[in-house]
Amino acid sequence: MKVTVHIDSANEIYPILDKLKERGLVNTVDFTFAYVPPEYDDAWEIKHLKCVVFDFVEEKNATWFSLLI
């Protein structure tokens, strides 16, 4: 189950990863994440903001994470 988190800076990811680690979740085992850069159209209008997409193996962890964010 995927959860998208919009961010202003890549530094915002570290506290989120710390919370996941505190919960006992392990990257590449319980979840993966990927940075998605902003995208613009031909007129330089933003199509979507930069974000990080977390993909959880178990739905219960995705639900907990969604409530956390």
Q: What is the pLDDT along the chain (69 residues), one digit of tens a residue?
A: 999 999 998 899 999 999 999 999 999 999 999 999 999 988 888 888 899 999 999 999 999 999 988
Which residues make Cβ contacts (< 8 Å) with residue 5, sequence separation at least 6?
16, 51, 52, 53, 54, 69
Report pLDDT for 44. 87
Give the model's pLDDT for residue 26. 97
